[in-house]
Amino acid sequence: MQQIIKPEMIGPCLGPSMSIDCLAAKLVGMPEPKYIYRGIPEQSLGVFFGPSKTGKTTLVESLALSIVSGQSTFLGDTISYNSKRVLLISCEEFFRNRTTRNKKQIQYFNERYTTVENWTENLCVVDDTFPRYFITEEHWKLLELEIERIQPSLVMIDSLTRLSVDPIEDSTVATKLMKRLREITHKHGIALILIHHTQKMDNKPITIASLAGSRVIGQEMDFMVGVNRTTNNIRYLKDVAYRYAADDAEQVLKFTINDSQVVEALEYATENEILLRGGGITDLNDSDTLVLNYITQVSNGNFSVIIKTADFYTNLVENGLTTKPTLHAALNRLEQSGIIKKPEKGLYQLSPSS
């Protein structure tokens, strides 16, 4: 008979291995972890990623401005923070263009969101003397010195590829880089947001697989927020993955960038619906649209959902919305267009490549 190990047989709760009861006892009295925004906790490492010119930097800048100006929400979701100080490190833009944009953003916030004086003192940005590429140990030391001096709650670095002269596709390089960033995050107690560029998406869904570089990068992230833009200029952000919070990859948030270079929320929708609207598909007739809308509604953007021909008959044909010949003609056109696929006879599903 297997011996039952009791906590008192293990010894005191000293670690590194102990009973779960001992470890749980350490949580008593500790405050619940805070989330700065959506699934981004304090003291965490993560990424806003997507193709170039999708609005990633402007999105994070708008979040930063909301924090430092004392706002309680951003794009409709709650924001929280212990410190209102933020450090923005742009390695990709020169001082003049970036600061011109920031001035427009600040004016917009002053006119609409805050009457607090001197709130911009909590927003710190680097000038052109800061390294544009991290090549030497001195560059890394400078980064940490600035974090120690500024004492921010959130730091943005634009972009990840500027932090290594070696290819981040190499797992050894990626592991070393992620280890260093993780250590900085914990040492200084910050939330570190990295901006990372992917290849052009061509109206495809943004997923963890879209994240450029070694898979080590994705494995080390506490949060991954995708930012995409369709060919007809529909921008949206997507909760791709959170380590410590639930993510809703089915619903994405459409947003726009106004004349003051501040992001504004539009509406939630399924990613598939947005991509179909933005994919230049203009030759669908009313029957095609009827069938596609039904598929999108049933699937809720989930490409793994299978719909049987009998389901179409029950919900569309028998309700008098279409006829069987028209239904099958529409299914054939949607399949030929690559919008849906037919894994087996009589079965249909959304195509991830649509």
Q: How confident is the model at residue 201 (pLDDT cuts 50, 70, 90)?
A: confident
The bridge status of strand 307-308 relative to strand 347-350 is antiparallel
Instruction: Read off the pLDDT of residues 213-268 as tens digits, 9 standing for 90 and up.
Output: 878 899 999 999 999 998 778 899 999 999 988 776 678 999 999 999 999 999 99
- If one compares 30 and 14, the residue with the highest pLDDT of the two is 30
Answer whether 227's CB lies under 8 Å from 237's CB.
yes
Q: How confident is the model at residue 105 (pLDDT cuts 50, 70, 90)?
A: very high
Q: Which of 123, 118, 116, 125 is nearest to 70 (CA)?
A: 116
Ordered structural domains, the chain, with CATH: 37-270 (3.40.50.300), 281-350 (1.10.10.10)
Q: What is the pLDDT of residues 52-103, one digit of tens each?
A: 999 999 999 999 999 999 899 999 999 987 678 999 999 998 888 899 999 9
List the one residue out of 196, 265, 202, 250 whose CA is nearest residue 227.
196
For residues 141 and 246, which has the higher predicted lDDT (pLDDT)? 141
Report the chain's mean pLDDT, rounded to a whole number.
87
What pLDDT, on a 0 to 100 scale, did the predictor assign at position 95?
A: 85
Q: What is the mean pLDDT of residues 136-151?
A: 96
Preceding peptide of 159 cis, ω within 30°: yes
Single-letter code of the amino acid located at 351: S
| E-assigned strand segments in 31-96 | 35-37, 40-41, 44-50, 73-74, 77-78, 86-90
**Identity (one letter) of the amino acid at 164?**
S
Q: Is the pLDDT of residue 5 over 60?
A: no
Average pLDDT of the segment spanning 255-284: 80
194 closest CA partner among 166, 228, 221, 173: 221
Of residues 210 and 146, more confidently modeled: 146
- pLDDT band at residue 277 under the 50/70/90 scheme: low
- Reported as a single tens digit per residue, the pLDDT across 318-349 is 988 999 989 999 998 888 777 888 889 899 98
What is the Cα gyration radius of the chain? 24
